[in-house]
Structure 1
Amino acid sequence: MSAYFCPKAGTIVSLADVRAYNSTLKNLAPGLVAIFVGGTSGIGLYTAREFARTTTSPHIYLVGRNETEATKITQELKTINSKSTVDFIKKDVSLLRKVDEVCKEIKEREKSVNLLFMSCGVLTLNGRDGTEEGLDRKHSLHYYARMRFIQNLAPLLTAAAENTDPNAALSRVVSVYDPFIGRANKPDFSDLALKSTFSLAHVANHSSAMQNFALERFARLYTKTAFVHEQPGSVETSLVKMPLVKLLYFLMKPLLVEKKESGERHLFYSTAPRYAPKVKADGKGVAMGADGVMGSGSYHLSWSGNAHGDDSEVVKEMRADGAEEKIWTHTEEVFKKVCEEGGMY
């Protein structure tokens, strides 16, 4: 790994520190493979721009539904870095079977994946929007689809981590949502899919808490890959086009994280040794893990890169009650019913 500047663990990461580290990424091996799910707008796009700008001959996959925007973004990224390769995969990943199709295509083309970056989602004030697979669309994008991507691509992430060239061994998953909602509230374990108890507050809580425990499980199973669940703060995205959201953004403008800064920070969270996989966390400058163990491989980050450990009484109660096992048993049931049996959950 190239030389880097690493601020003290447990502290807010300044933008100067972020830029100091990102400037070293040109020293990484050429040809890093990054997948941006939700990469045609918002934080995924901002991060893809910085990944193209700071790495050598990257291969970038954009996964989304907007082919028109993807064509523009592909040209933009090629302008930023003429040696980059950019591929767009058009799929509605609120459907788990479409997630499987995306992963199948990538696995046929790549032997390893260095970064899986997921910011897919939908802003809606409506009630439950059931997909043809029986899941709520919002809940699927914020939880089930993301976990299916990880499950499918874990072997390629591991292959990247095992590269004999240390400058090519980056292996990381970043899920942009909010780990802190689920640290303050328990999900309804009798209705994790929100079939009968749906509300916008419940889907936010369930998506957050379920991700938290699932990512810890992945970090324990795949110790050569780091898993980051990050709350991005207030960032301008394509949702600002909605009238009500546009007004809120106008009022909040002084507090917003600027687009380029957001991309720079998310690139840092996607690459910096501060958030190392468990097997590479040597205790020097690594962040506090989500379970309270330094360098455990699963991290809960605020928008400024501050890592938070297991300091929530609610989380401790859920751990004692077997939350991880309950959540993952349910998740596997959904995957089996939808992906393996081709049915509805």
Structure 2
Amino acid sequence: MVALSAVRTHNATLKSLSPGLVAVFVGGTSGIGFSTAREFVRNTDAPHIYLVGRNQIEASKIIDEFQQLNPSSQLNFIKSDVSLLRNVDEVCKEIKEKEDKVNLLFMTVGYLTLQGRQETVEGLDRKFSLHYYARMRFVQNLAPLLTTAANNPDPKANLSRVVSVLDSRLGRAVAPNFSDLSLKDNFSLKNCAVHACSMMNFTLEHFAQQYPATSFIHAYPSGVRTGALRPMGPVVNNVLKAVTVLLKPFMVDLKESGERHLYAATAPQFAPREAKADGKENVAKGMDEEPGSGAYALNWNGEVFGESQKAAGLRAEGAEKRIWDHTEEVFRKICDENGKY
């Protein structure tokens, strides 16, 4: 476990980084995304922040708060429903028109639901799209800007990192159904969670190989009190609130979660893949147990999840390629052909 005191000591050093770091927070108007964005604004010099979400009113309040917290910050809100991949493309296009680099892509977008499959006009389940396909489309689209940031010769300006917050534990423990990766015919909330987490692990490994100057993290947040319960309705919401009160001693405070996720987003031990070739030491072990592999599965407390027998077996069977080939097919049909999967 990384002590909270060590997390705060590290975060306090971020003021020494070059001013003008660019960070994109997808799902940044509530919960962990908001809390991490607030810590990023608090601890960096003249950051440029993009918040991507659907709540314009909440975003306006957040921007006012962040501006007071750090008057040197630049803040933008992009309103979009990114459960649709074509909307993801539009958001990324807007960012690319304004920026030539991105130092951090931080994604928490998603929601809790007790409903079954809700198909979008693009042919994907909405929850599954938010938890996996949309996030990976953001990575694919913004990878060139992340690479530009990484190639800055100034070591105080070359932060280049992707953090996706979901459940890196589940992604190591259970295999997806390779005959129905999009869950057209086998959808359940459990299967959706398994597929999103497992597919994300292998796809982030793929990106770490394709973009070795950027590091990629799949983080498990543990229990954090956020606004994720709101869409579930008043009755279920009240029950879950009562349970949350009972579990409060075992949950992570929202501010602490933001601090810890900022640490995950900036700590040097989660180095990009190419850093290993430079002979750098003290790098963490990646998902495949290789130090400095560039793709890391993190626990809520900063500890690294190593390899699991299930993940090792899937990797040996070519899971990464099979999952990426499927993901590319989805992107091609929806985004390139303007169709439906």
Counterpart among 91, 96, 104 of residue 107 in structure 1: 96
Mapped partners of 1:283, 1:32: distance in 2:
23
Kept in 2, the 8 Å contact 1:173–1:270? The answer is yes
Indicate if the aligned counterparts of 1:283 and 1:294 stay in contact, CA closer than 8 A.
no
Query: Is 2:295 the counterpart of 1:306?
Result: no
Alignment match, 1:258: 253
Look up the SS of the partner of 2:269 in the other structure.
Answer: helix
State whether structure 2 residue 328 is matched by structure 1 residue 327: no
1:292 maps to 2:289 = yes
1:304 partner amino acid: N
Match of 1:27 in 2: 16
Q: Which residue of 2 aligns with 1:317?
A: 313
Amino acid at match of 1:322: G
**Partner of 1:274: helix, strand, or coil?**
coil
Deviation at 1:284, TM superposition (A): 2.4
Distance 2:287 2:31 in 1: 26
Question: 1:240, 1:249 within 8 Å by CA — same for their partners in 2?
Answer: no
1:225 to 214, 217, 226: 214
Amino acid paired to 1:116: L
Alignment partner of 2:228: what SS?
A: helix
Q: Could you tell me how far apart the structure 1 residues matched to 2:126 and 2:229 are?
A: 20
Give the aligned partner of residue 152 of structure 1: 141
Gaps of 5+ in 2: 231-236
Provide the aligned length of Structure 1 versus Structure 2.
Answer: 333
Q: Does 1:340 align with 2:328?
A: no
Residue type matched to 2:147 in 1?
T
Please name the residue that 2:267 is paired with. Answer: 272
User: Counterpart amino acid of 1:190?
Assistant: S
Write out aligned runs for 1:88-237 (5 A): 88-237=77-226
Query: What is the match of residue 5 of structure 1?
Result: none
Aligned: 1:246 with 2:253: no
SS at structure 2 position matched to 1:101: helix
- Aligned-pair CA distance for 1:283: 4.8
What is the CA-CA distance between 1:246 and the residue it aligns to? 1.2
- What is the CA–CA distance in structure 2 between the aligned matches of 1:300 and 1:194, rounded to whole Å? 24
Q: Are the counterparts in 1 of residues 286 and 297 from structure 2 also a CA contact under 8 Å?
A: yes
Partner of 1:315: helix, strand, or coil? Answer: helix
Native 8 Å contact 2:35 2:257 kept in 1: yes
- Aligned residue for 1:239, secondary structure, equals coil
Which stretch has the larger CA shift, 278-287 or 183-192? Answer: 278-287
1:285: Cα distance to partner? 2.1
State the AA in 2 paired with 1:307.
V
SS of 2:305's partner is: coil
Q: Does 1:75 align with 2:64?
A: yes
Alignment of 1:51-66 (within 5 A): 51-66=40-55
Q: CA deviation digits over 1:219-256, x for unaligned, max 9?
A: 01111000000000111101245223212211211111
Amino acid at match of 2:302: G
Unmatched 5+ stretches in structure 1: 1-11
Q: Distance in 2 between matches of 1:86 and 1:248?
A: 36
- Aligned residue type for 2:245: F
Structure 1 residue identity aligned to 2:243: L
- Deviates further, 179-188 or 79-88: 179-188
Q: Deviations over 1:85-142 (max 9, x none)?
A: 0000000000000000000000000000000000000100100011110000110001
8 A Cα contact 1:62 1:87, kept in partner: yes
- Structure 2 CA distance for aligned equivalents of residues 276 and 224 of structure 1: 9
Q: If the length of structure 1 is used for normalisation, what is the TM-score?
A: 0.95
Preserved CA contact (<8 Å) 1:239 1:245: no
1:59 CA displacement: 0.2
Give 1:174 shift. Answer: 0.1
Partner amino acid for 1:133?
E
- Please give the root-mean-square deviation of Cα atoms over the aligned residues, in Å: 0.9
Question: Residue 274 of structure 1: CA displacement?
Answer: 1.2
Does the 8 A contact of 2:288 with 2:312 survive in 1? no
CA offsets 1:177-227 (integer angstroms, 9 cap, x no match):
011112111100010000000001000000001000000000011110000
Q: Report sequence identity in percent.
A: 59
Q: How far apart are 1:272 and its partner, in Å?
A: 0.7
* Range 277-286 or range 149-158, more displaced: 277-286
